[in-house]
Amino acid sequence: MTNDHKRAKADDVYPTEDLRQSRMSRRQFTATTGALLGILAAGEPVLGQAPAAETGKDSNVQKPAPGPAGTKQATTHGPWDPALEKLREWDPKWAEACAKMSMNPWGKGVLPRKTIELISIALNAACTNLNPDGTRRHIRAALEAGATRNEILMILKMASLLSIHSCSLGAPILLEEAKAAGVQPRKKTKEPTPACDKMKEIGQWNQAWDPFFELDPVWTDEFFAVATGIYTGGVLSPKDVELLSIAFDASITHMYAPGTRRHIKAALKLGATMEEIMEVLKLCVSQGVQACNLGVPILSEELAKRSK
């Protein structure tokens, strides 16, 4: 196996929590949590029904938005905020063309509205983006579309752990360059690593994780313990997770090619259509209008100051 191939596989992160606690068979455990953790360092298994949401006073379950026969239908402006109105005033032809293109996924009907908004939360809240206005806008829209607190929280957790790609990229390079420079790491006292041990026990350890484990086994174990705790709850379906993972990795603020390919492959294996995956990529493109959401109001304010 080449180094490049090993690095491309550095996205397969599987949880290690006791399977009996998650009430899953090994097959379910591997399929579901392997898909969920794929986003962290880039995983395996596209848009099925998520398991029933938790009930009870703490689950904050939202009722789905009423359909056409309901009393209220949620409106959407896609990725836009009020800056679009000013843009229409200044350049109506371009504004309408851009609005039509960027809001296409919301009107196409290929993906459910809730899924579109969850993906949009992922794109805005990702640790590679951190767009507060877009995150708020799409959280509000997702709740209107029937998303639960737990579903949205899961996406925020996934967005946080996307940062593991810093180690996927850097740890192998550190080892290679240190070896070339004749630098040796300090000797470490062997400490327990139960989360990593569990993954090895069930045959889910990936050699591509060896670089960070070699450099700091205790921290690596801490990371997998965090990942395990997040992804064994079954909040999102494997297919939804793969679509979200494609969005995270293909995002204009990340563009992580190994993970994008891995998740597209996994999504297709789970039954996602080419059209569904293309909608995810289109949602990534739609986020480009954040440049106008950010800049148009600033330009308007500065022009107003100069006119006084």
- In this prediction, residue 76 carries a pLDDT of 73
CB 165 within 8 A of CB 41: yes
Return the percentage of the chain with pLDDT > 70, whole number: 74
Could you count the other beta carbons within 10 Å of the beta carbon of residue 35? 29
Report pLDDT for 75: 58
pLDDT in tens, 143-190: 999 999 999 999 999 999 889 889 988 999 999 999 999 999 888 889
Q: Give the domains, in start order, of the chain with CATH numbers.
A: 3-14+34-44+106-179+204-291 (1.20.1290.10)
What average pLDDT is seen over the chain? 80
Structure confidence at residue 204 (pLDDT):
65
Lowest-confidence pick of 25-39, 104-118, 202-216: 25-39
The pLDDT-based confidence of 3 (bands split at 50, 70, 90) is very low
Q: Which CA distances in Å does 297 have to 8, 93, 96, 113, 216?
A: 41, 19, 18, 28, 46
Return contacts of 262-266, CB within 8 angstroms, 24+ apart.
262/8, 262/9, 262/11, 262/12, 262/38, 262/42, 262/43, 262/44, 263/38, 263/39, 263/42, 263/43, 266/35, 266/38, 266/43, 266/44, 266/45, 266/46, 266/242
Residue 296, pLDDT > 50, answer yes
pLDDT tens column, 40-84: 444 333 333 333 334 343 444 444 444 433 334 445 789 999 999
- Dig out the tokens for 308 from the structure: 């006084």
Q: What pLDDT shows up at residue 114?
A: 97
Model pTM?
A: 0.74
Tell me what pLDDT residue 187 has.
Answer: 87
- Span 101-106, average pLDDT: 96
Range 262-279 average pLDDT:
95
CB-side exposure of 8: number of CA atoms within 13 Å?
11
Report the distance separating Cα 15 and Cα 261, nearest Å: 21
Lowest mean pLDDT among 44-58, 78-92, 115-129, 215-229: 44-58
- The answer to whether the CB of 29 falls within 8 A of the CB of 203 is no
Phi, psi dihedrals of residue 81, rounded to the nearest 5°:
-115, -170
Do 289 and 79 form a contact (C-beta atoms < 8 A)? yes
**Could you write out the DSSP letters of every residue in 49-103?**
PPPPPP-STTS-PPPPPP-TTSS------TT--THHHHHHHH-HHHHHHHHHHHT
Q: Is residue 291's pLDDT more than 60?
A: yes
Range 119-127 average pLDDT: 96
